[in-house]
Amino acid sequence: MDVSLIVVVVVITALAFDFTNGFHDTANAMATSIATGALKPKEAVGIAAVLNLVGAFLSIEVAKTISSGIVDETRIGPAVIFGGLVGAIVWNLLTWLVGLPSSSSHALFGGLIGAVWVASGSDAVRFTTVLEKVVVPAVASPLIAGLVAMIATFLAYRITHRTGEDTRRRGFRVGQVVTASLVALAHGTNDAQKTMGVITLTLITAGSLPAAAGPPLWVIISAGSAIALGTYLGGWRIIRTMGRGITDIGPPQGFAAEASAAAVILTSSHVGFALSTTHVVSGGVIGSGVGRRLAEVRWSTAGRMVVAWALTLPAAALVGAGAGWVAGTGAAGTVIVAIAAAAICGGIYWLSRRNPISAHNVNDAATV
Amino acid sequence: MHINWNGLGEVLVVALTAGVGLVVLAALGINAFDYRTRALDRGTSTVVATATSALCAVACVALIGYGIYLTVNK
Tens digits of residue pLDDT in A140-170: 999 999 999 999 999 999 999 999 889 999 9
Beta carbons of A12 and A84 less than 8 angstroms apart: no
Query: Among residues of chain A, what percentage have pLDDT more than 90?
Result: 73
Q: Is residue B49 part of a domain?
A: yes
**What is the rounded average pLDDT of the residues A326-341?**
93
Q: Is A235 within a domain? A: yes
Would residue A304 count as lying in a domain?
A: yes
pLDDT tens track for A207-228: 888 877 888 999 999 999 999 9
Please give the residue range of the domain that contains residue A97. Answer: 3-353
The torsion angle over the Cα atoms of residues A106, A118, A77 and A1, rounded to 10 degrees, is -140
CB–CB of B15/A145 below 8 Å? yes
**Chain B contact for A283 (CB, 8 A cutoff):** no
Residue B32 lies in a domain: yes
**A70 inside 8 A of chain B by CB:** no
- Domain for residue A336, yes or no? yes
Residue A1 pLDDT: 42
Sign of CA dihedral A47, A52, A53, A54: positive
Q: Is position A283 within any domain?
A: yes
- Higher-scoring residue by pLDDT: B1, A326: A326
What tens digit of pLDDT does each residue of A18-39 get?
999 999 999 999 999 999 999 9
Instruction: For chain A, give the mean pLDDT.
Output: 91
Q: CA-to-CA distance for A103 and A105, rounded, in angstroms?
A: 5
Confidence grade of residue A192 (pLDDT, cut at 50, 70, 90): confident
pLDDT at B52 over 80: yes
Q: A182 in contact with B at a CB cutoff of 8 Å?
A: yes
Name the domain count of chain B.
1
The residue range of the domain holding B30 is: 20-72
Q: Which of A168, A282, A262 is nearest to B35 (CA)?
A: A168
What angle do the packed helices A78-97 and A165-205 form, to 10 degrees?
A: 160
- Which value does ipTM take for this structure? 0.93
B67 within some domain = yes
Q: Is residue B30 part of a domain?
A: yes
Report if residue A319 sits inside a domain: yes
Which of B1, B24, B34 lies closest to A132 in CB terms?
B1
Alpha-helical regions (H) of A160-298: 165-205, 217-233, 236-240, 251-271, 277-292
Cβ atoms of B5 and A146 closer than 8 Å? no
Interchain pair B71, A131: CB under 8 A = no
Residue A254, chain B, CB below 8 Å: the answer is: no
In a domain, residue A363? The reply is: no
Question: A270 and B22 in contact by Cβ < 8 A?
Answer: no
Q: Is residue B63 part of a domain?
A: yes
Residue A31 lies in a domain: yes
Give the orientation angle of helix B47-72 with respect to helix A165-205, to 10 degrees: 10
Helix extents (H) in A59-135: 78-97, 104-120, 127-129
Report the residue from B15, B20, B24 with minimal CB separation from A267.
Answer: B15
Q: Per the domain annotation, does B61 fall within a domain?
A: yes
Asked if A147 reaches chain B (Cβ–Cβ under 8 Å), the answer is yes
Indicate whether A366 belongs to any domain: no
Q: pLDDT digit string (tens) for A32-75?
A: 999 999 999 999 999 999 999 999 888 766 677 777 788 888 88
Nearest Cβ partner for A128 among B1, B15, B22: B1
Are A277 and A51 contacting, i.e. CB atoms less than 8 angstroms apart? no
Picking from A155, A267, A271, the nearest residue to B27 by CB comes out as A155
Q: Kindly list the distances between the CA atom of residue A116 and the CA atoms of A71, A72, A82, in Å, as whole numbers in the listed order.
A: 7, 8, 11
In-domain check, residue B14: no
Residue that wins the pLDDT comparison between A172 and A270: A172
Higher-confidence residue of A281 and B2: namely: A281
